[in-house]
Chain A
Amino acid sequence: MPSPDFSPVTVIGGGIAGSTAAIALSRHGLPVTLIDEQSEAGGQIFRAPSPYARQTVPPNHEFSGGDTLRGKLAASDVTVRLGTRVWGLSPSLTLDLIGSDGMSQLPPSTVVVANGATERFFPFPGWTTPRITGLAGASILMRNGGTLPGQTVVVAGSGPLLFSVAHQVLELGGKVAAIVDAGSRTDWFRLGAMLALDPSRMAQALSWMGQLRKAGIPIHHRSFLSSAQETESGLLLTVSEMDHPQRRHLYAAETAACGYGLKPSTLITRSAGVQHHHDALGGYLEPVTDVAGRTSRPDLYVTGDAAGIRGMAVARLRGLVTAHALAQDRGLISSATYESLTRTPRRQLRRLDAVSRRMLPLMNAGRELAASVHDDTIVCRCERVTAATLRSAIHSGAKDLNQLKAWTRCGMGPCQGRMCEDSARNLVTGTCKNTPEDAGSFTARMPFFPLPLTSVTGTFDYSDIPLPKAAPL
């Protein structure tokens, strides 16, 4: 056992995984700083509701679970820095931060990345209208803002979020015009069988399904939103069937929520240079980790959905196991103690992981859509790059994502490719023979999100600027 090392640990992300890990690390006696961009910890699922939402949304598991987690965090020795975002990092893991108190840096420490997931989108004609949000965005609006995205909503895309969002619309008194799912009914039945291993998920799924059936909401499987047209009162949405392209269904709605599953947020892990691989089942890039979230760098761990999408229950267990493993790596506990502390969570993890992996193909059911996107459709909405422009660049020889970005500006905008990368990759692999690994991913650049220029410059005099020596004459 190495001699105990009590140097600091920084946890990025105060969701279920990050908060759980931070509390457990702190109980091992480590000085822990938890950084989160929101004004309260909780992440996406346990996001703190606004006062208005507390009045309008019926009490639910997410509110109570979040309150419990925030209470535990407040009672712990964890230093919590809320309203703070990581906008860059150095090779030695100095973190560049920006918060309400301006810019600051955290000196190199062991970093636990728990920054969760990003929603995946596939483009279709009209998808850039402001009347269309993501499923996760709609959920935040309802759960945490207490506000419906529209009185009548079409809920489209893939994965379990479809049914969660539809349920939330009904809960707030809205109407769901239709549910449009890229996955097949058979896929869901197969998953249903697996859910026996995960009773809490099973119970939730059954209650949602019962409610949706009672409300008489049409559900289209193996179908997708093929166009959205703005009308005076909202949207006219066309639903097409994947196996029968000529069959179409029209719906009028005030808004639509559409998203094609989640993927790990990898800007930070890619910038830190840890190994990643393409998970074929999930259709996304994820950091290579062991069961405890260790990566190819000894000073960086990844936990929760950031290590691969598995959902809330797994996130909590992963947070615990990562914390204990880090404590063991630091020589704070013996391997025997680690084994005994993590025996139960690791057993639960194995069981839940199997169920969660079965969800990945359902989340990724829209994968075949991007390659067939219409030429005129905008793929990169930040830089307004169409599928035709991308296809033409691919034909000119841009066969990896970074060359595609360099030649077309796709992925160069404020979202840094979070929204278009999956579509761009599918276009590359669908147009030439490159695999997703060959196509790669957009190089992560700092800052990770737009920074006010004045936050970098501050107050200064001209004479403060350390002008370098003049260039040669």
Chain B
Amino acid sequence: MTVALHEKPAVYDAVIVGAGVMGATTALFLARAGLNVAMIDRQDMFRAASGVNAGTLTLHMTRAQLIPHAIRGREMWLNSAEWLGEDVGALATPGLSMAFTEAEEDLLRQRARVRQEMGAPIEIVSPERAISIEPGINPGLRAAAYCALDGHIPTYRVGGAYARALKQAGVTLIENAAVETIASSGGQGYEIRLANRNQAVHAHRVVLSTGAWLEKMLGWFGHDIPIRCLINQLVVTETLSPVMNSVLSIANGLLSLKQFANGSVLIGGGWQGEGNIRDGGTRVIPENLQGNVRLAQHVVPQLNTAQILRVWLGLESETPDAMPLIGPLTHDDNAFVVGCVHSGFTSGPYMGRLLAERILGADPDLTAFDPYRFSSSPATGSQP
């Protein structure tokens, strides 16, 4: 979409770079608080991780330290009508994580314990109990971890819902405009230069929420943080009669399995494909496709009647300590980051809202997410 920039104010109160769940939630809450907000994306909005992820709401697979955030994020998704303006179809279901070997059972118990300590209502259940919760699973399991607070979202409904909410809140959307540089503009905020656009965008504050594309932009603000890019594989089947009701996973976290309302089964879990952020091309690794799908069929044997409809890959970003980046990037509090959140779709709206609250003057605890934890050098503002 092309926006007639000359009709817009000379300087935005905030410009969000990267139109996914986190940045868009920040944009939404800032705009509703009265700020003049623009959001820029290199593609159309919600086309990267936020548009292609598995839609899992999970505590089993969320990092233990992020459990409180994931619980809040899940609640936001389930109540999306209240704050986003429309119901995106999030469904609360139980979640079962399974162990098939002794080693997996040990891992399952260990992972469940640390999550319990962080407030996740996860309990270890017997194979019989697991089968009574989810009759379609492989009866050969040794134990399962049961969580009452899981669920899933049909991801495809999210982007359009945000587009309408942002429009209503008055956020200016600038799509298909890659950010080339962000430069300090004489102590008066920032000048943002875009590819294929003559006119720069000016803003008092900048928020970076570009996920896998963060590393270079963080560098512009003096933060040298290597961002690892995961190329996550997803597989979807043709529609099937019901074979499961819950979100299924295995002890080591490398499977997510669910059936949507339309009957299609989504197989994920972070098996890797090939690709990179530069040319955007991604490709399936045949052995990983086979491994991922075998695992799914092992967990739900009835999948042997399914047909694989499509395989695709989505990019996920990860910091060196696998913890998020949320907070200010400069000491004068005019550039911020939100991203690299493990199980980021579950917690995403909450993380985005936390940053909006921080920008608006509240003081949420973001200590563990502070980007300065990776560097001792003080930030000096932006250096393209």
Contact = CB atoms under 8 A, between A and B. Distances in A.
Given A399-B1, A473-B63, A462 B47 contact: no
B184 interface: no
Interface string B267-287: 000111000000001011011
A445 B310 contact: yes
B254 A468 contact: yes
B131 interface: no
Contacts of B309: 413-414, 447, 450
B163 interface: yes
Given A396-B164, A408-B156, A450 B307 contact: yes
A453 B264 CA distance: 13
B160 interface: yes
Given A96-B286, A397-B163, A407-B159, A454 B107 contact: no
Interface stretch (B4-12, B68-76, B290-298, B356-364): B290-298
Contact of B289 (A399, A407, A456, A464): A456
B294 A452 contact: no
Contact of A90 (B47, B283, B311): B283
B303 interface: yes
Interface string B157-187: 1011001100100000101000000000000
Contacts, number: 132
A88 interface: yes
A275 B237 CA distance: 30
B64 interface: yes
A12 to B, nearest CB: 19
B46 A406 contact: yes
Interface centre among A407, A414, A469 (most CB of B within 10 A): A407
A465 B262 CA distance: 29
Given A453-B297, A471-B61, A473-B63, A447 B311 contact: yes
A409 interface: yes
Nearest to B271: A468
Contacts of B61: 471
Contact of A457 (B262, B272, B293): B293
A211 to B, nearest CB: 43
Interface string B135-149: 000000000000000
Contacts of B51: 406
Interface string B86-101: 0000000000000011
Given A465-B294, A473-B63, A445 B311 contact: yes
A400 interface: yes
Contact of B252 (A409, A414, A416, A470): A470
A466 B287 contact: yes
Which bracket fits the contact residues of A? 35 or more
A468 B294 CA distance: 13
A337 B118 CA distance: 77
B301 to A, nearest CB: 11
A472 interface: yes
Contact of B254 (A400, A413, A467): A467
A383 B306 CA distance: 17
A397 B307 contact: no
A471 B311 contact: no
Given A406-B46, A456-B289, A462 B298 contact: yes
B114 interface: yes
A402 to B, nearest CB: 7
Given A396-B163, A397-B163, A472-B63, A454 B254 contact: no
B293 A453 contact: yes
A371 interface: no
Given A91-B283, A468-B254, A453 B306 contact: yes
A50 to B, nearest CB: 26
Contact of A450 (B175, B286, B308, B312): B308
B291 A465 contact: yes
B111 interface: yes
Contacts of A397: 1, 44-45, 163, 167, 173, 175
Interface string A91-107: 10000100000000100
B308 A467 contact: no
A393 interface: yes
Interface string B110-122: 1100100000000
Given A453-B237, A471-B61, 5 more contacts: A399-B44, A406-B46, A465-B295, A471-B342, A472-B63
Interface of B: 1, 44-47, 51-52, 61, 63-64, 100-101, 107, 110-111, 114, 156-157, 159-160, 163-164, 167, 173, 175, 237-238, 251-254, 262, 270-272, 281, 283-284, 286-287, 289-291, 293-295, 297-298, 303-312, 322, 342
13 contacts: A273-B281, A396-B164, A397-B45, A398-B160, A406-B51, A406-B159, A412-B310, A414-B307, A446-B311, A453-B293, A456-B290, A457-B304, A469-B252
